[in-house]
Structure 1
């Protein structure tokens, strides 16, 4: 790392795409904390105006792939304008292009990793990103991801432990002010116990397991399940619902831009993933609205939900365990409400944006020496 003036502020170039709100506020928070931080990102991102207003954007890039020549050239041009200490890349494309653009330059490279999987010593693309020898630190969004990276091995090759760390993505409870949706618009009775699940239509999300769990609930229990996302186009899931004792209690909303409002109107949020999760935003959003969560023991979700305190953690692919957890909350509203309050407190206290900023700043400072 260059040290032309040890007393000057750290100079960091962040490379990302259409960053989400926590990422955007991290950039702004780091700048407020004294980091001379610049961002190159996609101008079509939802939060781009906020970043531009905070005067952190120095270049517009929308990287097409890990070999984007124009994007790489733009990054290198920016690196040549200022004596940066650190590149912080927030996705594999940005990491690959940032590494290529900074070739022969004396600076540190920090990578962000938000999911488990898709890295291998036998995959050439992994050597262009997270396994590249010039990567100084890999910041995982959950300890489960850090553990996964630490366990990668091939013929004695491993990622050095000192390269790995975990920093939770930060949130602010003030961000979550959406009004809960009127249940009638979803055809859910006001007196029903409403279960919400949001996710992409991929097998590992476990929608089929959740539907099976709903079918195991006592018929007298007025539980309604709301499935948010493009799962409404999954004919196999629709057939599974049609075979339930009360198919009218399962509601497919399709893709919605107001998913947080739906979660906020729910009594419990369930994410029955069977594999490969980081810290799902949908679960965090629900908890921020005071909704307890039922999640599987997959990825970083057990780091988010404390079993028996602000929700339940159950084994993956175990519909009976999900059904039992739903029933426990549906038959004890005092417990459901107490867990909801604990869920909101969990996000506000342990996953705060301020904490993420301070931990990221501390990480940067370790790279100064």
Structure 2
């Protein structure tokens, strides 16, 4: 029987919803008998859950990339708890952590959940991912790993592709928002996108797709998030005849309930994202995804089985996919069920925990 692992993780656990898939990895490792020490902000909302699961929680997280006090505390924790593996989940933790572990035998893991901005000539990369002290880089999609593989000086043996799995039971208690709140019919095909508007999200291409829909089609789009109704977006709708089909809800704390009310989650992202958490959540709720074909996202859905995949920056193809599901409700029902099944089979938390445990044992052995 293998000896329990002694792991120390440094991450920002101040938001319970955002970090849940990550935090639950270590809670389940605790349940498997491993020792886990967590260093995070004193006000972290997840701290109590860690403590209840048996973790040692240290109220410390670097405030910048040169936090000497944190480095002293981290080094002390590694030595006092005889830590075998440290796992850093953000840039501040990684840069400080790699300086703190000098001379210690502990194994070092980093995390990467974003595609792009990986260049061998970037000096900051050698303070993190290409630092010689790093033993493993956990990439949350093959798309992320491929960005590293392109670089000439990266040790490809460090790259470990492990998805952040979810548990369908997390979403079972969520009840759908009533369509009456928005004056919508039960027969209306409801599209949704949840995001804070950024250029990489490609929202303008989604709105252009709406302009390609037939005016008599009973289809509505709910855009949930901040700064969606900017002048650029409104101008796009004004050029078409379907502005009445788009509803800007603004930020909603009940975003998942709104998603649960809808039929299709449409993601028109252009770059940068790996496996988009908002789409995983939608699929876990039984919502069919239409997603753009960018690295990372390609691993989210199998075309025509658990969603539809369209080219990025292609409003006509996106509109065609929407109309396809509008006309074929049987296919839509199949994709909804296929979406949940895909999460159950390929993106579940148990697979993630097993992969982490296997990787950690390989490192210490």
TM, length-normalised to structure 2: 0.94
Aligned to 1:122: 121
Gapped regions of structure 1 (runs ≥ 5): 1-5
Residue 163 of structure 1 deviates from its aligned partner by 0.8
Greater Cα offset, 95-104 or 318-327: 95-104
Deviation at 1:147, TM superposition (A): 0.9
322, 338, 341: which one aligns with 1:342: 338
C-alpha separation in 2, matches of 1:337 and 1:201: 29
Aligned residue number for residue 38 of structure 1: 37
Task: Find the residue that maps to 1:239 and give its secondary structure.
Answer: helix
Secondary structure of 1:227's counterpart equals strand
Secondary structure of 1:232 counterpart: coil
Shift of 1:233: 4.7
Distance 1:341 1:112, change over 3 A: same
Deviation digits for residues 118-137 of structure 1 (CA, Å, limit 9, x no counterpart): 33333222111111110001
Structure 1 position 174, deviation (Å)? 0.5
User: Deviations 1:223-268 (Å, cap 9, x if unpaired)?
Assistant: 1011111133522112222333121210111111111111111110
| Whole-Å separation in 1 of the counterparts to 2:129 and 2:180 | 48
Of 260, 285, 294, the residue aligned with 2:256 is: 260
Partner of 1:72: 71
Show the counterpart of 2:187. 191
Specify the alignment match of 1:171 in structure 2: 166
Q: Distance in 1 between matches of 2:118 and 2:250?
A: 32
Q: Does 1:202 align with 2:198?
A: yes
SS state at 1:224 partner:
strand
The match for 2:242 is 246
Write the deviation string for residues 31-77 of structure 1: whole angstroms up to 9, x where unpaired: 12232121111243343322222121420124222222222222122
Q: How large is the RMSD of aligned CA atoms in angstroms?
A: 1.6
Paired residue secondary structure (2:105): coil
> CA separation in 1, counterparts of 2:236 and 2:69?
48
CA contact (8 A) 1:269 1:294 kept: yes
1:329-362 CA-to-partner distances (Å, cap 9, x unmatched) read: 1111111111101101111221111110011000
The equivalent of 1:221 in structure 2 is: 217
Contact 1:17/1:61 (CA < 8 Å) preserved in 2? Answer: no
Matched, 1:292 2:288: yes
Q: Distance in 2 between matches of 1:219 and 1:186?
A: 19
- 8 Å CA contact 1:232, 1:238 repeated in 2: no
- Aligned residues of 1:142 and 1:167 also touching (Cα < 8 A): yes
Alignment of 1:276-287 (within 5 A): 276-287=272-283
Check conservation: 1:63, 1:93, Cα contact below 8 A. yes
Counterpart of 2:85 in structure 1 is: 86
Equivalence for 2:315 = 319
